[in-house]
Structure 1
Amino acid sequence: MVLTRFSVLERALTLGGLAPLALIGAAPQHQGGRITELLPPGYVQPKQQPREVVVPAPTPLVVDIDRLVTDFGGKVGVAVKSIDTGWMVAKNGDVPMPQQSVSKLWVTLTLLDQVDQGRIRLDDPITVTKNDLTLFHQPIASLLKNGVYNTTVRDLVRRAMTMSDNTANDRLLRHVGGPSAVNAYIKRHSLGAIKFGPGERLLQSRTAGLPWRQDYAMGRAFYAARAKLPSNVRQAAFNRYVADPIDGAAAGSIANALAKLQRGELLSPASTQWLIATMESSRTGHARFRASVPPGWKLGHKTGTGQDLMGRTAGFNDVGILTAPDGRSYAVAVMIGDTSRPVRERQKLMQNVVARVVTYHDSEKPQPVLAD
C-alpha cells in the first residue's frame, strides 16, 4: 500500500499523536525543533493544558488510619479525602459495605437534581398515607391524622436527612422515580462503587429473611414476625446481605462523591448550599463523628445503622464533610460493614478518625492544587 504524506499524518493522529510517525515508516522533516513537512497549512499546535499536581497523601495520617482499622478488626472501610488538594487516605476504601441510611443521601441528590431541572419544587405539596409507612425509625408515623399527613417535599427531605426517617425517604424515593432513577443519577455522575438498593421495606425484610408484607409497618408486627423465624434462616439472610450488600458502597467512592458535592459538581450552587446546610443540621449520630468535631469546625453528615444479630450489626456508618475554620474541608467516610465490637467502640473508631484529620490539619499548611 502506498501512503501519501497526508494519509500518513491521518494514521499517526489516529494512533494518538505525531510521535508514532517514525513507527510507520514516515520520516518527518524538522525545522527549529518543529515538525513542518507533514503538517497541513494553517495547522495550529494545541495549547498544552495545565498539569494537575498529584499531592501525596500525608504519611502520618496514612499510618494512623491504617493502624485504627487494623486494630479494630472486622469488615471496615475508611476514607479521608482532602477536598482542596485532592489526596485521599483509604483503608479498604474500595470494598462495598452496607450503607443502610447513608443511602438517603443519594435519594436527596437525585431529588435536588430534578429540582435544578425544574421538574420538582421543594415547596411542592406531597401526601404521606399509612400505605407509605415502612419500619424501624419513622417518627413521621405519629403525624398521620386519619391515616394521612399533608406536607411538602422540603419537609420530607429535612426529615430524611436530619432525622433519618425511613418513611419520609421512601416516599421521596417514589416521588423521584424509584431506585432506577437514583442508580441512574449515580451512574450519570460517575460516582463509582455505589449502589442504591430496593428501598427500606424490601431491604430490611430481605436482611431479616422475610418476604415483605405491608402490615409489618404497623406497630411491632415486623419484630414479632422476625422473632418467629428459625435462627438459621435469619442468620443465613443476614450473612448473605453483609457479604454482598444490595445497597453496597465503598468508602472511597462515598468520599469522592462528597468532595464533588462540596465543589459544586453535582448540583446547582443553590441546591448544593441548601443540602450541605441541611446535613450540618442533622440530629443523628451525636456519639459518632460529631463527638470529635472541635469548636469552630463544621460537620455535614449522614449516618446509617442496620439490623443487629448476635452482637453484629449489618452496617454502622457515618459519612460527611468536615470543614475547618480556615475553610479547608475533608470528605470522611467510615463504613463498618460487619463486626462484633461493642457499639461504644465503633463510635470511638469514628471519633478517632475525625480527631486524626483535625490533628493533621492543624499541623499542615495548604498545598496548591494546580501548577503550569
Structure 2
Amino acid sequence: MHSLRFRLMSAALLAGALIAPPAAADDLEKAFDRVFQIKPAPAGGLPPGTVLPGGVLPANPAPGAVVPYGNGFEARLAGVANATHGRIGVAAVDLSNGKGISVMGDQPFPMASTVKVAIVATFLDGVDQGKFRLTDRFPIMMPMPSRPGSGPAPQREGPIYSATQLIDMTIIHSNNHATDALLAAIGGPRAVDHWLRKAGVSGMRIDRDIATLVRDDGMVNPATTIDLRDSTTPQAMATLLAGLYQGQWLSAGSRAVLLSAMSRCATGTHRIRGLLPNDAIVGHKTGTLNNTSSDVGIIRTADGRNIAIAIYVTGQGSKPGRDSRIASIARTVYEGYQPQLTAMRDSGATIAR
C-alpha cells in the first residue's frame, strides 16, 4: 500500500435537487453552479482531453501546487483502507481547492457497474453529435444461456424503452439489460474504449458487455489477482467524473442528464452514504461483482465543499464487510477535508449523523 497525492480540475459533480432539468442548456449550467456555489471555469479552459503526466487533470486555482494536509489525514485514510483482507483503492479530491489524496489510486480494480458512467457518457456524446436522440427507443438486451468463458454472451431483444428511460434504469437502478441496450446502440465495448481514448482518460478500459461480464464473474478473485479486463484505477475514475462535470466532453444538457441520474442513485445505501451526516448530499454510482464492491461519485458537505471520490474494495470477508469498509473510507475522507470535524473527533465529541 502506498499513498499518492494527485490533482484534479476544480469542478463539481452532483445534480442535487435538480431532478427535473431546466429547459435550456444555459439555465442548466447556471442552476448547477448556483446550487453548488461553483465558480465558472476560466474562459477557454484546457483543450478537451488534456491529461497531465500520471493521467490526472490539473487543479485550479493553483495547477501544480502540492498542498500539505496535516491533522494526520493520510495516516487515518491509510488505516481504514488497510488491504490486509483484500485490495482496496481510493482516490479523493476537494474540488474547491485541488487537495487530493489516494491509496493504491494508480492500481487497476474491477469497475463492475461503475463502468455504466462511461457507457452512458459515450451514448450522450452520440446524442451531442446527432447520432441519437433521447426520445429514440431501443430494446433492452436479455442474456441467453451460455458457457462461462465462451466469448461474448448471446442476447435477445426484450421490451423497448426510450433512451431517457434506459439511462435512468442504468444509473439509478443499475439495470444490466438497459445498460446493454445502450451499449448495443453505440457499437459495443470498443466504442466506449474509443471515446475514453478520444477524451484522454487513461487507466480505464472496457472489454465486455454486461451480460458477458456477469456470466464470467467469479473466474478471477479480484482480492488476489489483477484482471485488466474491464478495469479502472481510482484516479482514472475520478478524472472521468471531473471532466464530465466540467463539460470537457459533453454538452451542458447531456451532462445534466447524467448528473441528475447519479443524484437519484437508489443503490448502495450502506456504502458512501452509510456513515455520512444526514445533511451531506451524494451523487454516485455503485458496482458489485464477486468479492468486489465499489462506489464512486461526489459528496457535497454541509459547509459547501464538493469532494470527488472513487472507492474500490475487494475481499473483507463478505459484501456487508466491503460495504462497511466503503462507508468508513467515505467518512474518513469527509472528516479529513474539514479540520473542524477532525478536531471534534480527536476531542472525543460525537459528530452527528
TM-score normalised by the chain length of structure 1: 0.66
Read off the aligned partner of 1:334 and give its amino acid letter.
Answer: I
Deviation, 1:295, is: 2.9
Number of the residue aligned with 1:183: 193
Q: Aligned runs of 1:134-149 on 2, under 5 Å?
A: 134=143, 148-149=158-159
Bigger shift: residues 159-168 or 317-326: 317-326
Task: State the percentage of identical aligned residues.
Answer: 26
Richer in helix (by share): 1
Deviation, 1:148, is: 4.3
From 289, 297, 315, give the equivalent of 2:280: 297
Deviation, 1:242, is: 4.2
Deviation, 1:359, is: 1.6
Q: Deviations over 1:17-60 (max 9, x none)?
A: xxxxxxxxxxxxxxxxxxxxxxxxxxxxxxxxx96351425243
Moved over 6 A (4+): none
Separation (CA, whole Å) in 1 of partners of 2:294 and 2:77:
16
Number of the residue aligned with 1:360: 336
Number of the residue aligned with 1:82: 94
The answer to whether the 8 Å contact 1:79/1:90 transfers is yes
Matched, 1:168 2:178: yes
From 81, 85, 93, give the equivalent of 1:69: 81
**1:72 and 1:122, CA in 2 relative to 1: closer, same or farther beyond 3 A?**
farther
Matched, 1:339 2:315: yes
The answer to whether the 8 Å contact 2:89/2:311 transfers is yes
Q: Deviations over 1:139-166 (max 9, x none)?
A: xxxxxxxx84222011011001011111
Separation (CA, whole Å) in 2 of partners of 1:72 and 1:285:
23
The answer to whether the 8 Å contact 2:268/2:286 transfers is yes
**1:186 and 1:97, CA in 2 relative to 1: closer, same or farther beyond 3 A?**
same
The answer to whether the 8 Å contact 1:78/1:251 transfers is yes
Read off the aligned partner of 2:318 and give its amino acid letter.
Answer: P
Deviation, 1:203, is: 2.0
Q: Aligned runs of 1:203-282 on 2, under 5 Å?
A: 203-208=213-218, 237-239=219-221, 242-282=225-265
Q: Deviations over 1:319-339 (max 9, x none)?
A: 111122444311111111x31
Number of the residue aligned with 2:212: 202
Separation (CA, whole Å) in 2 of partners of 1:266 and 1:297:
28
Read off the aligned partner of 1:341 and give its amino acid letter.
Answer: G
**1:297 and 1:273, CA in 2 relative to 1: closer, same or farther beyond 3 A?**
farther
Number of the residue aligned with 1:98: 110
Q: Deviations over 1:3-23 (max 9, x none)?
A: xxxxxxxxxxxxxxxxxxxxx
Read off the aligned partner of 2:88 and give its amino acid letter.
Answer: V
**1:242 and 1:172, CA in 2 relative to 1: closer, same or farther beyond 3 A?**
farther
**1:197 and 1:121, CA in 2 relative to 1: closer, same or farther beyond 3 A?**
same
Separation (CA, whole Å) in 2 of partners of 1:284 and 1:57:
35
Separation (CA, whole Å) in 1 of partners of 2:299 and 2:164:
24
Deviation, 1:71, is: 6.2
Q: Deviations over 1:324-367 (max 9, x none)?
A: 2444311111111x3142322222211112212222333279xx
Q: Aligned runs of 1:105-116 on 2, under 5 Å?
A: 105-116=117-128
Separation (CA, whole Å) in 2 of partners of 1:72 and 1:57:
27
**1:72 and 1:278, CA in 2 relative to 1: closer, same or farther beyond 3 A?**
farther
Could you say what secondary structure the match of 2:270 adopts? coil
The answer to whether the 8 Å contact 1:107/1:173 transfers is yes
**1:150 and 1:70, CA in 2 relative to 1: closer, same or farther beyond 3 A?**
closer
Q: Matched residue pairs, number? A: 268
Number of the residue aligned with 2:296: 319
Number of the residue aligned with 2:142: 133
The answer to whether the 8 Å contact 1:280/1:300 transfers is yes
Separation (CA, whole Å) in 2 of partners of 1:180 and 1:334:
25
Q: Deviations over 1:293-331 (max 9, x none)?
A: 323322111111113xxxxx1x21111111224443111
Q: Aligned runs of 1:148-163 on 2, under 5 Å?
A: 148-163=158-173
Deviation, 1:186, is: 0.9
Could you say what secondary structure the match of 1:238 adopts? coil
Bigger shift: residues 323-332 or 76-85: 323-332
Could you say what secondary structure the match of 2:216 adopts? helix
The answer to whether the 8 Å contact 2:77/2:333 transfers is no
Q: Which runs of 5+ in 2 are unaligned?
A: 1-60, 146-156, 342-353
**1:321 and 1:51, CA in 2 relative to 1: closer, same or farther beyond 3 A?**
closer
Number of the residue aligned with 1:121: 133
Deviation, 1:245, is: 3.6
Read off the aligned partner of 2:282 and give its amino acid letter.
Answer: L
Matched, 1:285 2:268: yes
Read off the aligned partner of 2:220 and give its amino acid letter.
Answer: F
Separation (CA, whole Å) in 2 of partners of 1:297 and 1:276:
17
TM-score normalised by the chain length of structure 2: 0.70
Separation (CA, whole Å) in 2 of partners of 1:93 and 1:52:
20
Could you say what secondary structure the match of 1:289 adopts? coil
Separation (CA, whole Å) in 1 of partners of 2:83 and 2:211:
35
Could you say what secondary structure the match of 2:181 adopts? helix
